[in-house]
Amino acid sequence: MDTLTGWGRLPEPGRELFDEDIETLTRGAVLSRGLGRSYGDSSLPASPDDKVANSRFANRILSFDPHTGVLRAEAGLTLVDLVRLMLPRGWFPPVVPGTRFVTLGGMVASDVHGKNHHREGCFGAHVRALRIRLADDRVVECSPEADVDLFDGSIGGMGLLGHILEVEFTMHRIPSQWIWMERERVPDIGAFLESISRAAPEWPMTMGWIDCLKRGEEMGRGVLMAGRWASADEAPARNPGARPEITMPVVLPDWALNRATAGLFNAAYYWSHLRRRAAGMMAPGAFFFPLDVILEWNRAYGPRGFTQYQCVVPRAAGPDAVRKFMEQLTALGAASPLCVIKDCGPEGRGVLSFPMEGTSIAVDIPVSGHIQRVVDGLNQFIISVGGRVYLTKDRFTRPEDFRAMEPRLPRFLALRAKWDPARRLRSAQSRRLFGDAA
């Protein structure tokens, strides 16, 4: 028996199997798992006896067409390996999340989004075909032309319709190996939302960090970043080298992160951007994956672990809704040094895919005796404005709240009934949210 955890470090007992041969590995398994970078319980087993297929050794690139950028690989290929191989050759994945330590299977199953969602949508928008092992052990190829409902349900389907064995998608050609970045310190949430929407038509990539502990006039002050690939003319001649990495050496005690220390961190980070505006060349690693520089940084949240609450506040709810969300967050006492804001474009094709037109807010919250009350309170607000939470980050949403915020759920459950009527494929999350058997 193993103890498996997501990135939030909350454990579940289970049995994890590893093999280079992903077709053998997934036969009879009830859940797929990549690098376990989902924060909550989506990659954790529903029961200690469940077999979880870990894909990380099934990581071969099967084909690549240098004319079209179409790449096919096994689902366990990691983003860190893909970028290491393809960046020097002038190619980059069309969409990447905020860490390189994810697999292709995990990127599809969560339908990950990046800093370019307003331009490129989610990763699933660039997927051309998936090879999938179904719950009844058949292997099928699905795409926007064949078994379309299985394809759409598997994108963002959290591994509940089938084990993804292979992914075919289109890489982007890039003009250089560098990012041109501009950064601006923004005094409050209103100005922040204005700046991010002003930047969206001009910049392919945007994102911001906000200080979610500040109240009053400075509520939501932060730092907005915008970027684009540098042209070949303006990029430095040298290649960006590998970044030095350090490992968080120990699990910090529970008391280390509290409202006071998080507030100090936030103020220090905000004022470390001394100039109101800055611009320059940046290595893609530092731009896309800033947190990867400290390996195992999740230990900073202490032995009780943490959750990330990520929601989208729809544009239709108006800019004041984001301010009210921030007020709710501070009123509930959720102290966090990490609060990330992104601009989301229109909803993609994945049936349960997370983003929708609006503002995504992600905030790390240490687990304490109050965590359920905090998540419930935030969920009530998100339901009231017609938003939703991101399943790959979620650990505490109640099933009735998820139903209330997800009008697409009946369609997803109908797909499960078609492709896996016995609900053999399941996770700790599907047990919690959809009532699957343990």
Interface ranges with ligand FAD (CB under 6 A): 7, 31-38, 42-43, 55, 75, 97-99, 102-103, 105-106, 109-110, 112-114, 158-159, 163-164, 291, 392, 427
Closest approach of Cβ 102 to ligand FAD, in Å?
Answer: 3
DSSP secondary structure, 242-263, as one string:
PPP-EE--SPPPGGGSSHHHHH
Residues 308-324 as b/e (b if ≥16 CB within 10 A, e otherwise) read bbbbbbbbebebebbbb
Residue number, 24 or 68, with CB nearest to ligand FAD: 24
Closest approach of Cβ 115 to ligand FAD, in Å?
Answer: 8
Question: Which sign, positive or negative, has the C-alpha torsion 314, 348, 42, 285?
Answer: negative
Closest approach of Cβ 130 to ligand FAD, in Å?
Answer: 9
Residue number, 35 or 225, with CB nearest to ligand FAD: 35
Question: Which sign, positive or negative, has the C-alpha torsion 409, 414, 418, 422?
Answer: positive
Beta strands in 321-421 (DSSP E): 339-344, 358-366, 388-389
Closest approach of Cβ 234 to ligand FAD, in Å?
Answer: 26
Q: To the nearest 10°, the Cα dihedral for 356, 359, 360, 364? A: -160
Closest approach of Cβ 66 to ligand FAD, in Å?
Answer: 26
Q: Which two tokens stand for residue 49?
A: 């006896």
Backbone phi, psi, residue 209, to 5°: -110, 135
Closest approach of Cβ 237 to ligand FAD, in Å?
Answer: 31
Closest approach of Cβ 133 to ligand FAD, in Å?
Answer: 9
> If you search the block for the tokens 């343990």, which residue do you land on?
438
Beta strands in 230-375 (DSSP E): 246-247, 277-282, 294-295, 306-314, 339-344, 358-366
Residue number, 292 or 376, with CB nearest to ligand FAD: 292
Residue number, 43 or 235, with CB nearest to ligand FAD: 43
Three-state DSSP class for 307? strand
Q: Which two tokens stand for residue 366?
A: 């240490």
Contact residues for 162 (Cβ-Cβ < 8 A; gap 6+):
132, 133, 134, 135, 140, 150, 154, 419, 420, 425
CA–CA separation, 220 vs 326, rounded Å? 7
Backbone phi, psi, residue 28, to 5°: 85, -5
Closest approach of Cβ 216 to ligand FAD, in Å?
Answer: 29
Closest approach of Cβ 320 to ligand FAD, in Å?
Answer: 26
Residue number, 114 or 214, with CB nearest to ligand FAD: 114
Three-state DSSP class for 46? coil
Amino acid identity at 396: F
Residue number, 45 or 235, with CB nearest to ligand FAD: 45
CA–CA separation, 406 vs 111, rounded Å? 16
Task: Identify which of 221, 219, 224, 223 has the alpha carbon closest to the alpha carbon of residue 200.
Answer: 224
Residue number, 47 or 99, with CB nearest to ligand FAD: 99
CA–CA separation, 370 vs 295, rounded Å? 28
Residue number, 191 or 200, with CB nearest to ligand FAD: 200
Residue number, 206 or 392, with CB nearest to ligand FAD: 392
Residue number, 157 or 214, with CB nearest to ligand FAD: 157
> Which one-letter DSSP state was computed for residue 283?
-
Closest approach of Cβ 188 to ligand FAD, in Å?
Answer: 24
